[in-house]
């Protein structure tokens, strides 16, 4: 995978309070940290790092992939090999008038910002693209008649090569169906999606159901079957196209009599009853994502692991059979969700307004990286404007997201743009375990800024993310969805963050010296 041109990254490591603060309060059991990390004879190294952190946001290794003075670019997806990114935009990004009507159209771009291509020119709208593992296939929804087969203007699925050639209509419905939430498997074999129409003859009540279709075309297959008024949605597909996971409030196997929204798994080719994986009793389980190994992450306001009595929305992970369920985040307020797990890694990205690491005191929506086995996490972005809708490459080394912030110094207009960043190859915390904390070590109350509200609690798993309104809910998408419009472009460099990051840089320097 080609590396993005950027300076060495500075990580914000996953503890709810900066460790220097806990040491100041005499609450750390790592007595040698201050002497070995802060007052080492090489004190000029962390001081130099601290000075560097006062520079603009480009230092954080952010690469801005789109640049426009108007319009909105959003809902990015990255190929598993990390080479190519697709997204929707109302901007005329190519500058050739190809999107002069400012409709939502689909674009693709290299992960370093080069080779921008407009894949659709609808005049009406094309939204929510998904990309195959090698970037060779792109699927999206549109109500335009792009191939001459959609004269009735229904929302249909289309598939094209990564360069826009070979455009083909995958679905052909009659009457409103609300086709949405399409995801293509990494191997390009199959596409899953949600729809409220009778695409196969098995949904006469028009309930929202999950379907799949071969990427080469053919008849779709209905994977869920609920009564009128029920909802099955947010499908994701395994990298090899074999299985699909989704959210549903139905009761297909008599395991969900209370009608809560739960996570289900099913053969993506159909022919079997979906298996229920969660049982929340109260709250909902939403937006699953599945890796090649069958690791599933999802968000829930329920208490499936027994550690979320306050019913905040938190992230959870489990195996494909529902076993090994663990809670990944732990908070008492804010909004956490939209997780995506890497196809070939235990790493997942998500967005949250919670101050998990001590670096998000303004409680803006930021992008975080979490290890779904250990629950250790890092904060990847730091902007006063919201950073949202992340996606991650197959090996977990590259992340894309949307923001109206200015992390790279190239977005002074505060336009909603697409950004990419590389994740340090050492993973969360690198190779120094002293740099890593998990949700079980600290609980941070969502009550303001700074660590005044942080309390050490090694035994408590009380969680702090509230459900909140999902302003980007797929079920509410329209062809003219303009998405986030925040315009705060100031790159926020907090003094507390500077000190914490300086300590992190110093640790990286020490590790590199040891390796040499």
- Position 230 in a domain: yes
pLDDT of residue 1: 52
- Position 2 in a domain: no
- In whole angstroms, give the CA distance from residue 340 to residue 338: 7
- Of 300, 304, 241, which Cα lies nearest the Cα of 267? 241
Model confidence pLDDT, tens digit, residues 49-86: 333 333 333 334 689 999 999 999 999 999 999 999 99
- In whole angstroms, give the CA distance from residue 139 to residue 158: 6
- Position 4 in a domain: no
CATH number, domain with residue 107:
2.120.10.30
- Position 158 in a domain: yes
Residues of the chain whose pLDDT is less than 70? 1-61, 425-516
Identify the domain containing residue 191 by its residue range. Answer: 12-515
Number of domains in the chain: 1
- Read off φ and ψ for residue 508, nearest 5 degrees: -65, -40
- Of 163, 169, 162, which Cα lies nearest the Cα of 191? 169
- Secondary structure string (H, E, C) spanning 322-341: CCCCEECCCECCCEEEEEEE
Local structure of 307: helix, strand or coil: coil
Model confidence pLDDT, tens digit, residues 207-248: 999 999 999 999 999 999 999 999 999 999 999 999 999 999
Do residues 215 and 188 touch, judged by C-beta distance below 8 A?
A: yes
Do residues 5 and 112 touch, judged by C-beta distance below 8 A?
A: yes
pLDDT of residue 428: 54
- In whole angstroms, give the CA distance from residue 48 to residue 51: 5
Do residues 297 and 372 touch, judged by C-beta distance below 8 A?
A: yes
- Position 91 in a domain: yes
CB atoms within 10 A of CB 337: 22
Measured CA distances, 443 to 25, 52, 263, 265, 297 (Å): 16, 31, 27, 32, 21
- In whole angstroms, give the CA distance from residue 8 to residue 512: 12
pLDDT of residue 355: 95
> Residue 13 corresponds to which tokens in the numbers above?
């490591």
- Position 464 in a domain: yes
> Residue 419 corresponds to which tokens in the numbers above?
């950004």
Measured CA distances, 235 to 111, 212, 289, 290, 421 (Å): 25, 10, 8, 10, 26
- Position 7 in a domain: no
Element spanning 503, H or E = helix 495-515
> Residue 262 corresponds to which tokens in the numbers above?
């739960």
- Position 6 in a domain: no
Do residues 446 and 464 touch, judged by C-beta distance below 8 A?
A: yes
Dihedral Cα 184, 321, 340, 99, nearest 10 deg: 20
């Amino acid at each position: 995978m080609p590396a993005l041109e950027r300076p060495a990254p500075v990580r914000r490591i996953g503890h709810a309070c900066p460790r220097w603060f806990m040491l100041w309060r005499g609450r750390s059991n790592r007595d040698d940290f201050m002497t070995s990390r802060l007052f080492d004879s090489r004190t000029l190294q962390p001081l130099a790092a601290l000075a560097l952190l006062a520079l603009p946001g480009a230092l954080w290794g952010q690469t801005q992939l789109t640049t426009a003075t108007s319009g909105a670019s959003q809902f990015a997806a990255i190929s598993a090999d990390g080479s190519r990114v697709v997204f929707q935009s109302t901007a005329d990004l190519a500058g050739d008038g190809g999107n002069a009507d400012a409709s939502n159209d689909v674009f693709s771009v290299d992960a370093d910002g080069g080779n921008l291509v407009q894949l659709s020119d609808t005049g009406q709208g094309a939204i929510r693209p998904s990309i195959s593992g090698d970037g060779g296939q792109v699927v999206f929804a549109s109500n335009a008649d792009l191939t001459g087969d959609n004269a009735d203007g229904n929302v249909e699925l289309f598939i094209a090569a990564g360069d826009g050639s070979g455009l083909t209509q995958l679905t052909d419905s009659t009457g409103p169906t609300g086709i949405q939430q399409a995801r293509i498997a990494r191997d390009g074999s199959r596409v899953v999606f949600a729809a409220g129409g009778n695409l196969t003859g098995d949904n006469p009540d028009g309930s929202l159901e999950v379907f799949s279709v071969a990427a080469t075309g053919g008849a779709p297959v209905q994977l869920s079957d609920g009564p009128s008024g029920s909802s099955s949605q947010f499908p994701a597909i395994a990298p090899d196209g074999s299985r699909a996971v989704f959210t549903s409030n139905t009761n297909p196997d008599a395991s969900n009599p209370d009608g809560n929204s739960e996570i289900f798994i099913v053969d993506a080719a159909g022919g079997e009853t979906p298996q229920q994986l969660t049982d929340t009793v109260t709250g909902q389980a939403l937006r699953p994502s599945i890796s090649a190994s069958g690791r599933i992450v999802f968000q829930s306001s329920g208490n499936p692991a027994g550690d979320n009595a306050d019913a905040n929305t938190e992230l959870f992970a489990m195996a494909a059979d529902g076993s090994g369920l663990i809670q990944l985040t732990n908070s008492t307020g804010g909004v956490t969700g939209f997780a995506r797990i890497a196809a070939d890694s235990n790493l997942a990205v998500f967005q949250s307004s919670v101050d998990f690491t001590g670096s998000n005191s303004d409680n803006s929506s930021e992008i975080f990286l979490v290890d779904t086995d250990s629950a250790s996490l890092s904060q990847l972005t730091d902007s006063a404007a919201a950073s949202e809708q992340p996606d991650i490459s197959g090996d977990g080394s590259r992340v894309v997201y949307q923001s109206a912030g200015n992390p790279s110094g190239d977005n002074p207009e505060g336009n909603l743009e697409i950004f990419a960043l590389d994740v340090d190859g050492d993973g969360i915390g690198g190779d120094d375990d002293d740099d890593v904390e998990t949700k079980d070590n600290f609980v941070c109350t969502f009550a303001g800024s700074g660590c005044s509200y942080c309390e050490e609690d090694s035994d408590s798993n009380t969680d702090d993310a509230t459900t909140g309104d999902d302003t980007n809910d797929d079920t509410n998408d329209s062809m003219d969805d303009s998405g986030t419009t925040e315009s705060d472009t100031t790159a926020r460099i907090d003094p507390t963050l500077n000190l914490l990051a300086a300590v992190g840089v110093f640790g990286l320097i020490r590790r590199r010296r040891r390796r040499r």
